[in-house]
A and B are shown apart, each in its own frame.
Chain A
C-alpha cells in the first residue's frame, strides 16, 4: 500500500494503537485520578443518587406517600404492558420509525459533511455550513405548522400546485402511508445540518499533507475518500451509531405528538405518545416509569451487543 494510505490508516487507528502499551502505573497517574474527581462526583450526585427512582416501576407510587410509603407490586406494570393488546403495534411503530431514521436520517449528516469537505472555496463552505444548521433552532411546533401550510389539502401550497396542473389533491397528512416518510424527511431537514458539526470537527483533524501525497501518487477522489477521509471519521461514526442504538425506542416525543392525528394512529402511535395518553387520566407514575425502564433495557441490550460487535471487528467500542 502507498505511504500516505498507511499513514492515514495509522492516524485513524490512533485510538487503537494505545492497546499496545501495557502496564499502567498508579503512581504516575494519581493526578489523572484527581482530574477525574469533579466529574465522578457530578455523576454520583446528579445521576446515580437519583437512580433509586427506578424502583418506582415496581411500586404503586404516590408522590404524597413517597417511595418508602408506597406499596410494592413487583412486575405487575410490566405484565400490564405486555398484556396490552396494542403493545405490539406500538412496539412495531416505534421500531419502524427508528429503523427508517437509522437508514435515512443517520447517514445524512455524514454525507453532508463529506460533501462539504470536498468544497474548496472556504467562504462558500462556511456559508453553507451556517445556513444548513438553522432549522435546528426552529421548534417542532413551527415546523409542523409549516408542514401543514405546505401539505394541507385546504389551501396547502403543494396541493394548490397539483390542482392547478389538473391533478388530484393528495391528503399527505391524513394518509398513514405517508406518515413515516414525512416524519423522517422532517428530521433530516431539521437536524442533518446540525449533525454535520461533529463530523466536520473530526475531518478538520486530518493531515492535509496526506491528500497532497495521494494526489502525487495519482489517486482519484474516490481513493482519497476511501483511504483518507472516511477512516478519519470512522470511530466517530461507530460511537454515534452505538449510542443511537441505545435510544432506539425513543423517537422524539414532541415531533411525533404534533404530527399525530386520529387518521394515522395505526402507524404513528409510539411508546412516548402512549405513555402520555395514559398519564392524562390518573397519574400512573409507576406505569410510566415501568415503560421507560423497559425501553432502557432494550436499549442497553442493543448497546452491549453493538459494542461487542464493533470490538470484534477491530474497532474501538464505547467502553
Chain B
C-alpha cells in the first residue's frame, strides 16, 4: 500500500492504538492478579488486598495440584474429550450447515426454523437426562460428546459463512465435474478456514469447560473431566451445609484456588494463538483470481 495517510488518519491510528492498549491492560490485569496470587507465598495472600506481584515465587500450589492423581487422570480424559469432541462437532456441524446454505434445498426454511426453535425451547434437565440414559451413554465419555454434537447457534452462523462464498466458485467446480461433496471439500472448506478456526475454538473451549454434563452423566469419579476435579479440590465447606472434619479438614488456601484457575484455563488459552493465522485477511484473494 503506497499512499500518504492524512493527518486525520494518523490521529485515528494513534487513538486506536491507545484505546486498544488501555483495554488490553484492563483485561490483562485481573489475570495477572490470579497468576500472581497462585505464585505468591501464603502469608502475602492472607494479608489480603490486591496482589500484582508475588513477593517470592512459590510453586507449592502447583505442586499440590499436579501431584494429585485424580487431577492428572482427569487431564487425560479432558484432552480426549476435547480433541475427539471437537472433531465430532465440526463434522456434524459442517455436514449440516453446508446443505442448509443452499437456498435451493427443499424444506430448508422449515429445517432452519426447527433448529432455531431448539435455541429457544428445551425439554429441560430431567427429560434430557432420561434420553441420554436410554441411549446408553451413562458413565461414558461419549455422554460429554454426543448430546452436544451440534450447537444450534454455531450451526446458524456457520451456515451464514458458507453462504458468503461466491456462487461462481462453486459453479466453476461443478463444471469441472465436482458433485456436492466435492465442492464442499475442495472449495467451500478451504475458503472457510476463518470460520472453521472460529468454531474449532468455540467447541474446544466448550468441551474443556464441561462441568454440569459430567456431573449428571458420570458417576465413576475416574472418568471425571478436569473442571469437576478442580472444583472439588478448591471447595470449602460453608457453615450451613457443613460436612468435613471427619479426621481431615480441607484447608484450601487462596493460592491453590488461583493455581487451579490457571491450570484450568491456560492450556485452552494456548489454542487461539495457533488458530490466529487463519484470521489473516484476503483469504479469498487467490481463488477469485483463479
Q: Please judge, given known A-B contacts A11-B164, A18-B103, A49-B131, whether A43 and B118 are in contact too, CB under 8 Å.
A: yes
Point out the residues of chain A lying under 8 angstroms from B172, CB to CB. none
User: Are B273 and A201 in contact, CB atoms less than 8 angstroms apart?
Assistant: no
Which of A20-28, A161-169, A174-182 is near enough to bind chain B? Answer: A20-28
> For the complex, what is the distance from the CA of A14 to the CA of B280, rounded to whole Å?
21
User: Are B115 and A53 in contact, CB atoms less than 8 angstroms apart?
Assistant: no
User: Are B149 and A42 in contact, CB atoms less than 8 angstroms apart?
Assistant: yes
Interface size class of B (residues with CB under 8 A): 35 or more
> For the complex, what is the distance from the CA of A270 to the CA of B150, rounded to whole Å?
29
Shortest Cβ distance from B23 into chain A, in angstroms?
Answer: 6
B163 lies within 8 A of chain A by Cβ: yes
Shortest Cβ distance from A209 into chain B, in angstroms?
Answer: 7
Closest A residue by C-beta to B153: A243
Interface size class of A (residues with CB under 8 A): 35 or more
Using a Cβ cutoff of 8 Å, how many contacts connect chains A and B? 276
Residue in A50, A126, A289 whose beta carbon sits within 8 Å of that of B128 in the complex: A50
Q: Please judge, given known A-B contacts A36-B99, A38-B96, A235-B160, whether A201 and B27 are in contact too, CB under 8 Å.
A: no
Query: What sequence of 0s and 1s flags, for each residue 83-125 of chain B, a beta carbon within 8 Å of any chain A beta carbon?
Result: 0000000011101101110111110010111111111111110
> For the complex, what is the distance from the CA of A138 to the CA of B166, rounded to whole Å?
39
User: Are B30 and A143 in contact, CB atoms less than 8 angstroms apart?
Assistant: yes
A134 lies within 8 A of chain B by Cβ: yes
Residue in B9, B30, B120 whose beta carbon sits within 8 Å of that of A138 in the complex: B30
A residues bordering B, Cβ < 8 Å? 11, 14-15, 17-19, 21-26, 28-29, 31-33, 35-36, 38-40, 42-43, 45-54, 56, 63, 112, 115-116, 118-120, 124, 126-135, 137-139, 142-143, 146, 149-150, 155, 157, 189, 193, 197-198, 200-209, 211-212, 215, 220-221, 235-236, 239-240, 243, 246-247, 285, 289, 292-293, 296, 299-300, 303, 316, 318-319
Shortest Cβ distance from B260 into chain A, in angstroms?
Answer: 10
User: Are A139 and B283 in contact, CB atoms less than 8 angstroms apart?
Assistant: no
B28 lies within 8 A of chain A by Cβ: yes
Point out the residues of chain A lying under 8 angstroms from B127, CB to CB. 49-53
- Secondary structure at chain A's binding surface: helix, strand, loop or mixed? helix
> Can you give 14 contacting A-B residue pairs, CB < 8 Å?
A15-B164, A29-B180, A36-B95, A43-B115, A43-B152, A112-B20, A130-B269, A142-B261, A201-B194, A202-B164, A204-B283, A207-B282, A207-B288, A235-B160
Shortest Cβ distance from B259 into chain A, in angstroms?
Answer: 13
User: Are B20 and A35 in contact, CB atoms less than 8 angstroms apart?
Assistant: no
Point out the residues of chain A lying under 8 angstroms from B285, CB to CB. 207-209
User: Are B123 and A52 in contact, CB atoms less than 8 angstroms apart?
Assistant: yes
